[in-house]
Structure 1
């Protein structure tokens, strides 16, 4: 059975761990997100520059159309070529001199390819040639200026501790010392070692290793990783310690972080593609953070676009619900409740009020049951139809919720006097992604009252299944199916 994790907040951490977390910036910037953002800015800026030049240099409609197409195709090709050469990795952005030659070479190759395509198509317009020459020069100037500015910005972020991949070492002793020394030999890795966590408290695992303090046990690591927003858990165990590794994974898989096993000193000799690298150090991937990098960006864009459209289309329904609530019983229209969000952070979720104001239960001490006298006449309808959830679209636009994901549960949610994390092993693994307004569990019938442990177990199983299977198409399917499932739902009241 999975060990219970009793450490749930920073207040329960050892003093050394609390101080280490307090020293970290509370506004970290992910290197992966930075690289993706720079790529997007490059793409948009080069397209706009190309279109502007086409307006200035193209005398004929034919030349303008060619320049316009080139202004779209050339940046896409050039930036994708740069990505394939790791031109948007943090090391390249931090020290652009080394990477700038490859970046400019890629741009020159793109312009030569555009010229070759024009020649093959028989384009002899002077306007098209002028556009191509001007675009090549403007592109070079853009890359020189933007990379110089970006290098200074990254240097400032690095000094303030905002730009880094935060890592902790899991395990102590000689293995941890070797791993730390190997990581610190490469200053371009962008890794910040925030501390060491190990259950051993004897000579095999001293309080300080290679200049880094041991901050606590594995159970305490879970709370520390959430507070410090740790990106990487680097396990410094021999690969032969299978039982110990399995026990640690059962405790750590609830975190939204990448878990890697150090391959330093391993006698296993696997194919190079079997390893991932942090700097020059090889690792075996044990667990990846779900919905990260480009996937996270795509999901966020999906939430903003679809959430905005939903808010516009459903605003008459929401306005009608607000009027009905106000006419039905005195009190505020909206109800706010503290619930668990991403990474176990507590958020305030908005709902239409469905209970009499003096009987509302913000802490969810008493679950709503069938024919509950606390629920108003309007409340019964909006709860059964889930109209009461629609204000959570504002939570989506604020970035606290997603349209689709595990439903956020109240912080004191319980069944038969037992908190849900005590009922289900690995309950908090559902918080590795943002919670959603609807989800896989809801369209499979697991919504409404949870009066027996089996119901919350089935919910968590569905949530974990969603996290493993996630895709934008899966999100779209759940959104489209949700209204059909609400019509046939018998569990919400």
Structure 2
């Protein structure tokens, strides 16, 4: 049994049935909402086209309609028209859907004017189609929101309360509650395996609330910031002060200390970029990777790949893949010793692939499996040190960087912060860059980082 297995031993690995059902319900309801919108557009504009030409609708009209539906779906997705709020609030749901439809129609008219085909545009059919589609979209969205509110009470999110020396408010009784003492859970920022255990539990919930003793609030807050989840701490004593970052739910006052940095739409865009780039690159590089694997086998005995535990998104541990560049008998699984310029552990082939960053290529497999992203904070070995101190002891904000998936490259790497961490400043420079990336993420910035990475593949600090 591995250390990871021991970390979550005797704790249910699967979410409770109701939690899993509620999370599945959100996904299915969002898919139903998308299907209902597309059906409303198809019927609405189909009615307009049928009135204009009762006998038969030309194939080019159907092609234009299907294209418009796809554009609407993309615009609505970007406009958060399929977010959880649109499943419980009829006003928010209809407003975002109508804004998306208006944007789609504006794009359609711009195309029509640019092609100079306004004279052939069936104005009556178009007007009737818009009116019919609007009525159907509003009706189905109000109906879906009404049904969701009636069946779920307007609360689709899943939440967990962890009690660590605090009291459980009456509002949370009957929900999912974990007693930290009984289940041996600790807010121990010096124990990566405890953080992994908590991350494994948290991944089944949308919101985690901590009720703890005052002296443990700071540690729980630091832990939650890197957990990629809406994390809150019950602090009843500051309710009367009304600070800006306070959340009220069922009369219970909590301080919001963390929120996943990317919403669903942004996570989807980032993942789509990873897939679009990773799959063709992996296919193209497969012959070269096979050659590298053969050279590694011929150079020294041992496996082709080097697998090592790293901390990923939500403080969950995964195994990173690299081409093996060191001798098996001297490899450092915990990463306590950084590679140096004249490191005697590195093989002849290893020195070349480290210098050219070729040893990182197998991490494309980690990206494909969703454990990593092309761009993000670099994942570090659990035993990595800056000077004589573990990374997370140099600055407790270190854990915040795990709110995003780790990346093959990142802002710190293109700024030249790589190589051995001999001093505290070495890790602080990387941490500052990672936190800047986390707070100012954009898809264009990811593309820019990928473009600039080509300039630092071969770097004086790569050895």
Structure 2 residue corresponding to 1:343, chosen from 289, 292, 314: 314
Aligned mates of 1:392, 1:331 — CA distance in 2: 19
Match in the other structure for 1:391 = 362
Offset from partner CA, 1:68-114 (integer Å, 9 cap, x none): 4553466678886965893324xx8xxxxxx79x88xx89xx89x99
Match in the other structure for 2:201 = 228
Whether the aligned pair in 2 keeps the contact of 1:392 and 1:437 (CA below 8 Å) is yes
Whether the aligned pair in 2 keeps the contact of 1:33 and 1:293 (CA below 8 Å) is no
Whether the aligned pair in 2 keeps the contact of 1:169 and 1:233 (CA below 8 Å) is no
TM-score, normalised by the number of residues in structure 1: 0.65
Match in the other structure for 1:168 = 162
1:332 aligned to 2:303?
yes
- Displacement of 1:383 in angstroms is 0.4
Segments of structure 2 that go 5 or more residues without pairing to the other structure are 51-55, 110-117
Aligned mates of 2:297, 2:163 — CA distance in 1: 55
Q: For the structure 1 residues 65 and 12, does the alpha-carbon distance in structure 2 shift closer, same or farther, using more than 3 Å as the test?
A: closer
Structure 1 residue corresponding to 2:69, chosen from 63, 68, 71: 71
Aligned mates of 2:381, 2:253 — CA distance in 1: 41
Match in the other structure for 1:96 = none
Cα RMSD between the aligned structures? 5.3
1:465-484 mapped onto 2 (5 Å cutoff): 465-484=436-455
Q: Which moved more, 1:243-252 or 1:313-322?
A: 243-252
Aligned mates of 2:346, 2:83 — CA distance in 1: 58
Aligned mates of 1:377, 1:322 — CA distance in 2: 14
Structure 1 residue corresponding to 2:170, chosen from 155, 167, 181: 181
- Displacement of 1:254 in angstroms is 4.3
Query: What is the DSSP-based 3-state SS (H/G/I as helix, E as strand, rest coil) of the residue aligned with 1:167?
Result: strand
- Displacement of 1:327 in angstroms is 4.4
- Displacement of 1:438 in angstroms is 1.1
Segments of structure 1 that go 5 or more residues without pairing to the other structure are 1-7, 93-98, 198-206, 208-212
1:195 aligned to 2:178?
yes
Whether the aligned pair in 1 keeps the contact of 2:163 and 2:212 (CA below 8 Å) is no
Whether the aligned pair in 2 keeps the contact of 1:10 and 1:223 (CA below 8 Å) is no
Q: For the structure 1 residues 138 and 264, does the alpha-carbon distance in structure 2 shift closer, same or farther, using more than 3 Å as the test?
A: closer
Aligned mates of 2:425, 2:366 — CA distance in 1: 29
Query: What is the DSSP-based 3-state SS (H/G/I as helix, E as strand, rest coil) of the residue aligned with 1:87?
Result: helix
Whether the aligned pair in 2 keeps the contact of 1:36 and 1:88 (CA below 8 Å) is no
- Displacement of 1:134 in angstroms is 11
- Displacement of 1:396 in angstroms is 0.6
Match in the other structure for 1:312 = 283
Whether the aligned pair in 1 keeps the contact of 2:160 and 2:209 (CA below 8 Å) is no
1:435 aligned to 2:406?
yes
Q: For the structure 1 residues 471 and 378, does the alpha-carbon distance in structure 2 shift closer, same or farther, using more than 3 Å as the test?
A: same
Whether the aligned pair in 2 keeps the contact of 1:405 and 1:437 (CA below 8 Å) is yes
